[in-house]
Amino acid sequence: MARVVIVGCGYVGLELGRQLRGAGHDVVGVRRSDAGLDAVADAGLEPHRADATDPESLGELPDAEWVVFAASSGGRGAAAAREVYVEGLRNVVAEYASRVSSPDRLVYTSSTGVYGDHDGAFVDEGTPLDPQTDKTRVLADAERVATEEAADAGIDGTVARFAGLYGPNRYRLDRYLDGPVTEGYLNMVHRDDAAGAVAFCLESDCARGEVVLVVDDEPVDKWEFADWLAAECGVDTPPKRTTEERLADPDLSAAARRRIETTKRCSNTRLRALGYAFAYPTHREGYRAAIEAYLSGTDAADV
């Protein structure tokens, strides 16, 4: 069994740690804050304090066969994102490459935001990247660190390119039940499958030096999803608005405008071909717990 260090052991990292620990691996969760370290310990993992942006703090990290970089910039701007995703990842690679016993594998968790706009067409691992914002350009740069620079350091890197994450504490039912819902496509993956896909790539020893798009089986039209969710919850369908109507809003932020203008559908053909079996193949299975909570009068945010 492997020793695994998860740098930035947060929403996905904690679930990944639980899955790997359940499979018999030795898992260390790395966080910066006391609250983060408490969450790691509560998940049954070994907590370790370090900051990817502080190279000196990384020297105390234990050796590992597998390293997963799942750190977050906390929703801040492009400069903060570069400090964490590019420089932080580079620091982690440099630290582990300098050791006598360096890792066999590195996984970096990226985002489908690197694709840019494809006018609703399907994209996959072979689709050229076209990041449209400073922050998504940072993510694309970090992917090169995870594959090219890690390879130069003797570590096989894998990029797990996540679609929109949902799951416990992130169902956001109100957004779709209350509306208005702007047209477009949703590319989603349940947290448990995001973690499961990373664990699968590590345990199955696949996707070395490659990118894997981590998304469920069914990109879904937002209006269709909202109507399905309303029917399942027994409420009226929410109001809708077209892309043109939303873009006409004079108070719309530049970031929101770019999101609305960027549409694509993501394919998981490669991940399926590798052999990964989804716990939640579509939103129908993935949202069931939230729907049942709603029908029982429980706040879905607590599920």
Place of tokens 């066999």: 104
State the Cα angle at 111 between 142 and 28, rounded to 5°: 70
Q: Could you report the per-residue pLDDT of 44-72, keeping only the tens digit for each? A: 999 999 999 999 999 999 999 999 999 98
Could you tell me the CA-to-CA distances from 196 to 13, 29, 82, 158, 260 in Å, in that order?
10, 16, 27, 14, 29
pLDDT band at residue 77 using 50, 70 and 90 as cut-offs: confident
Does the pLDDT value for residue 300 go beyond 80?
no
Q: Could you report the per-residue pLDDT of 92-130, keeping only the tens digit for each? A: 999 999 999 999 999 999 999 999 999 999 999 999 999
Does the pLDDT value for residue 253 go beyond 90?
no
Pairwise CA distance, residues 85 & 62, whole Å: 21
Pairwise CA distance, residues 254 & 156, whole Å: 37
| pLDDT for res 64 | 98
* Choice between 133 and 2, residue whose per-residue pLDDT is larger: 2
Choose among 188, 166, 162: nearest CA to 110. Answer: 162
CA atoms within 13 A on the CB side of 6: 33
Provide the residue ranges of all domains of the chain, joining segments of one domain with +. Answer: 3-167+188-214
* Choice between 302 and 152, residue whose per-residue pLDDT is larger: 152
Pairwise CA distance, residues 57 & 95, whole Å: 10
| pLDDT for res 251 | 83
What is the share, in percent, of the chain residues with pLDDT greater than 90? 85
Output the pTM of the full model. Answer: 0.95
Calculated CA dihedral for residues 134, 137, 138, 140, nearest 10 degrees:
170
Q: Could you report the per-residue pLDDT of 157-203, keeping only the tens digit for each? A: 999 999 999 999 999 999 999 999 999 999 999 999 999 999 999 99
Pairwise CA distance, residues 117 & 42, whole Å: 40
Classify domain 3-167+188-214 at the CATH class level: alpha beta
Other Cβ atoms closer than 10 A to 5 = 26
